[in-house]
Structure 1
Amino acid sequence: MGQLPGFTVLWPKMLWLLALVPVLAWLYWRMLRRGNRVAVRYPALELVGGAGPVRAWRRWVPAILLLLGLTSMVLAIARPQAVMSLPSRLENIVLAMDMSGSMRATDIRPSRIYAAQAAAKQFVAEQPLNVSVGVVAVAGAAAVVQSPSRQRERVEAAIDRLQPQRGTALGAGLIIALTTVLPDQDIDVERFMDGAPLPPPPNAAGEPVVPGSNPSSAVILLSDGESNSGPDPLKAAEVAAQYGVRIFTVGIGTPEGVTLEADGWSMRVRLDEATLKKIADTTGAQYFQADDAEGLKKIYSSLSTRLAFDKQRQVEISSLFAALGALLAGLSAMLSLWWFGRVQ
């Protein structure tokens, strides 16, 4: 199968027909030269035909349009295909938001949590009306603060209610987010919390699920990546991969970190990019890093577009080339009739 970047043809041998286009152009040029010789020999005929030097270019316009139309039709015969982004079938999104004490840090102004809430609400507002959005708060424990809903006011109000708490259990937050986005699946959360491996989900074909293959559900984790309690977040990512659910990760903060002081204690809080990248890679998703509030909003806008058109497929576009060829040929015929009273 012949191929160009993003473009393929199923029948490349048919492209040899394109060689007829310059041949036809040469024949038309020869015909015009013969007509010009007749006009020079018999000037009266030129006056009768009404084609003077000013209008000579008109003879080429219909011919060029016709040749372009034939080229398009030949390409249609070769059955061209193109890689196109198609609308996704996304139905449920869960925002897993890190609400640990490190979210009080001000390396993103005015604070990590304020910037995260503002960007998350913008993301919710940009989602199509048919997409349900839920919210899971992640701290020392994880809790569903808003089940997936299409009522944007409820989701935004739940985001506004989030407050920093002690501890970070990313693994627990991810497994809770997974059960929230897949309410019909019987995921044994208690067994996972106890550290026992979970069996892979049943598959009618008897084959393992491809990571990221679930088109209807996704989880977005916003965190600095540091986890100090609960199960391993990478184990939770492996479970999500078994169900084909993508976990997009958004790193908030800076790798060098800042010193956070509160209630008489101080600690250095850094962005753990390695963990967040591994979570996204395991589930067939993508990692984003935001080091300021405006950048965080742009990331969420990019995510909105990606989730709306997240599938790229080879689509046959023969009909488009055939329609374009017919349009150009028809336009050529109309111009010929208009200018010369006949099809040239």
Structure 2
Amino acid sequence: MITFAWPWLLLLMPVPLLIYWLPKKENTRASAALIMPQLVESSHVKEVSNVNKKFPLMVLTLCWLLTVLALSQPQWLGDAVDIPTEGREMMIAVDLSGSMQIEDMSLNGNTVNRLDMLKVVLGNFIERRIGDRLGLILFGDDAYMQTPMTFDRKTVKQMLDESVLGLVGRKTAIGDAIALAVKRFDAKQKSNKVLLLLTDGQNTAGKISPEQALELAVAKDITIYAIGIGADVMIQQSLFGSRRVNPSSELDERTLTKLADQTGGQYFRARDSQGMSKIYQLLDQLEPIEQEQQQMRPLTALFYWPLGLALLISTLYLLAINFPNLSRK
């Protein structure tokens, strides 16, 4: 159906009719002979006199009606669309510390760094979260809210793809990331508050320790699912040949396991892209949020149709009345 944002403007439509019906002012002075300017040819005057005098008034009136119609903002109100009534409230905290540049991850048969692998696998996960409200936190020396809670999965994924190493420092502020998530979750009372924490190291920066942040998370009933990223073995080349090293020696699995266990969550270790797929299995088992049934009706603006028609009619009319003059020249 068609609705109007400003329907009261339609009251302006009869204005030309009211002006037409206004009483004409009588001319008390004696009528004088019409003085014809020398710049106007008499033949042209004869042509104008033969034109229907009501036609220009009809054109102007039609343009006025179309303009008023456009100003009233006509809109097409579409059919009702159900908004998903079940979903999850999830904050995703991603580590951007310097160690995330270590190239020890396997993705589609290629060796890539940890952040590149995370972007691909986590990006696919975000796209699948239809009906979920997601937020994105990036942390390094400090924690920053990159994307607040939203149903717009495309924006969350874009912000993740645009993140770069060193954007928020080279260290790892795990405690600050958890505390920031707690603060953002606090505004919404009824939700299954889930924090997905992805890191490859230990807490080396920040104003709040992981233990202090854990107390805040428990008090606010936030479930933490921690993901430890990094391979167990990596071949490192040197002047003395190759050697096997553990690139994840600084991963604090003990603290991450504690964070998950004491909040009712779970700790996972992602050694490659296949390990990250466990996130999907876990989150599919989470209970969705029960929300009130909501509907929305999409609105499509239609004002440009009457406005464009008014411009077209006025342009054609101006060309029509000036065409004889242009042809003479």
- TM-score, normalised to structure 1, is 0.50
SS of structure 1 residue aligned to 2:268: strand
| Structure 1 residue 182 displacement after superposition | 2.7
| Structure 1 residue 219 displacement after superposition | 0.5
What residue in structure 2 maps to residue 171 of structure 1?
175
Pairing of 1:1-344 with structure 2 (within 5 A): 90-109=87-106, 110-129=112-131, 131-165=132-166, 166-184=170-188, 216-230=192-206, 231-254=208-231, 269-270=248-249, 271-296=251-276, 298-308=277-287
| Structure 1 residue 227 displacement after superposition | 1.4
Q: Measure the CA separation in 2 of the matches of 1:170 and 1:234.
A: 10
| Structure 1 residue 136 displacement after superposition | 0.1
2:105–2:113 contact (8 Å) kept in structure 1: yes
How many correspondences in the alignment?
189
Residue by residue over 1:197-221, the C-alpha shift from the partner in whole angstroms, topping out at 9 and shown as x without a partner, is xxxxxxxxxxxxxxxxx75221100
Identity over the aligned pairs, expressed in percent? 27
Whose Rg is larger?
A: 2
| Structure 1 residue 300 displacement after superposition | 2.3
Change (3 A) 1:150 1:272: same
Structure 2, unaligned stretches of length 5 or more? 1-84, 107-111, 239-245, 290-329
Q: Measure the CA separation in 1 of the matches of 2:127 and 2:252.
A: 29
Change (3 A) 1:146 1:257: farther
Q: Measure the CA separation in 2 of the matches of 1:282 and 1:115.
A: 28
Residue by residue over 1:85-107, the C-alpha shift from the partner in whole angstroms, topping out at 9 and shown as x without a partner, is xxx96541110001101110112
| Structure 1 residue 111 displacement after superposition | 1.1
Q: Measure the CA separation in 1 of the matches of 2:87 and 2:212.
A: 24
1:105–1:258 contact (8 Å) kept in structure 2: no
Q: Which amino acid aligns with 2:282?
A: L
Q: Measure the CA separation in 1 of the matches of 2:164 and 2:280.
A: 24
| Structure 1 residue 112 displacement after superposition | 0.5
Q: Measure the CA separation in 1 of the matches of 2:197 and 2:275.
A: 16
For the aligned residue pairs, the C-alpha RMSD in angstroms reads 2.9
Q: Which amino acid aligns with 2:228?
A: G
- TM-score, normalised to structure 2, is 0.52
2:231–2:272 contact (8 Å) kept in structure 1: no
| Structure 1 residue 306 displacement after superposition | 2.0
1:90–1:216 contact (8 Å) kept in structure 2: no
| Structure 1 residue 181 displacement after superposition | 2.7
SS of structure 2 residue aligned to 1:307: coil
Change (3 A) 1:248 1:259: farther
2:146–2:159 contact (8 Å) kept in structure 1: yes
Q: Measure the CA separation in 2 of the matches of 1:99 and 1:260.
A: 25
Residue by residue over 1:140-168, the C-alpha shift from the partner in whole angstroms, topping out at 9 and shown as x without a partner, is 01101111110111011011111112111
Q: Measure the CA separation in 1 of the matches of 2:191 and 2:86.
A: 6
1:259–1:269 contact (8 Å) kept in structure 2: no
Q: Measure the CA separation in 2 of the matches of 1:258 and 1:232.
A: 33
Residue by residue over 1:35-85, the C-alpha shift from the partner in whole angstroms, topping out at 9 and shown as x without a partner, is xxxxxxxxxxxxxxxxxxxxxxxxxxxxxxxxxxxxxxxxxxxxxxxxxxx
Q: Which amino acid aligns with 1:157?
A: Q
| Structure 1 residue 184 displacement after superposition | 4.6
Q: Measure the CA separation in 1 of the matches of 2:257 and 2:153.
A: 29
Q: Measure the CA separation in 1 of the matches of 2:122 and 2:287.
A: 16
Higher helix share: 1
| Structure 1 residue 254 displacement after superposition | 3.3
Change (3 A) 1:234 1:259: farther
Q: Which amino acid aligns with 1:183?
A: A
Q: Measure the CA separation in 1 of the matches of 2:149 and 2:228.
A: 23
SS of structure 2 residue aligned to 1:238: helix
